[in-house]
């Protein structure tokens, strides 16, 4: 698996990404998020590619994007994280999260913390983040889709 920044060559791949209504209870769709990425120079679309296929998608958001979740000016927010429905249960999300710290160190040298917000009801995602080194330090926020647990991975 490799993580890469979105490029125009992946436009059709993004359009074919399958995400279920159940998944959308906790995250946004890649198509919707691309409009936000295009409007904000601090927001980056990241693709996890396995065997030439897009299997996992997420955004990294610097500066203003991370401020509601962290006071650390050197933090970056992981958001809109999902796995294509056809690839659920294959370990791709876990693999992408394990690759993320080295990706961030390579492309965002000033960053020393990855922050994310996970819905309190989304226990599957909480377990995944715990298994991949994210720490719950007790911070909570209210989001559009319910109470959020703020988790951090320190680089």
DSSP string, the chain: -EEEE--GGGHHHHHH----HHHHTTS--HHHHHHHHHH-TTEEEEEEEETTEEEEEEEEE-GGGTTTT---TTEEEEEEEEE-GGGTTSSHHHHHHHHHHHHHHHH-TT--EEEEEEETT-HHHHHHHHHTT-EEEEEEEEETTEEEEEEEEE-
- Over residues 141-153, the pLDDT tens digits come to 998 888 999 999 9
Domain interval for residue 125:
2-154
- Over residues 49-82, the pLDDT tens digits come to 999 999 999 999 999 999 999 999 999 999 999 9
Which residues touch 129 (CB under 8 Å, ≥6 apart)?
A: 97, 116, 118, 151
Q: What is the CATH number of the domain that holds 92?
A: 3.40.630.30
Per-residue pLDDT at 88: 94
Per-residue pLDDT band at 90 (split at 50, 70, 90): very high
Which residues touch 89 (CB under 8 Å, ≥6 apart)?
A: none
Please say whether the beta carbons of 55 and 67 come within 8 A. no
Structural domains of the chain, count: 1
What's the token pair of residue 72? Answer: 């650390």
Report the share of the chain in percent with pLDDT over 90: 94
The rounded distance, in Å, linking the Cα atoms of 91 and 135 is 20
pTM: 0.94
Taking alpha carbons only, the member of 20, 13, 105, 24 closest to residue 51 is 13
Q: 125 or 145: whose pLDDT is higher?
A: 125
DSSP β-ladder status, 2-5 and 75-83: unpaired
The rounded distance, in Å, linking the Cα atoms of 65 and 56 is 21
What is the residue-averaged pLDDT of the chain? 96
């Amino acid at each position: 698996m490799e993580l890469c920044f979105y490029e125009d060559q992946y436009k059709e791949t993004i359009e074919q990404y399958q995400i279920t209504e159940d998944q959308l209870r906790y995250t946004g769709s890649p198509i919707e998020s691309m409009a936000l990425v295009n409007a904000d120079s601090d927001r980056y679309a990241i693709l996890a590619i396995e065997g030439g296929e897009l299997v996992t998608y997420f955004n990294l958001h610097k500066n203003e994007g991370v401020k509601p979740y962290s006071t650390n000016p050197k933090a970056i927010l992981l958001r809109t994280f999902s796995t294509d429905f056809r690839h659920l249960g294959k370990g791709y999300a876990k693999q992408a999260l394990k690759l993320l710290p080295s990706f961030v160190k390579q492309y965002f040298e000033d960053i020393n913390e990855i922050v994310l917000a996970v819905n309190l009801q989304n226990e599957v995602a909480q377990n995944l983040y715990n298994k991949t080194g994210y720490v719950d330090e007790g911070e909570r926020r209210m989001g559009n889709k319910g109470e959020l647990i703020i988790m951090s991975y320190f680089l």
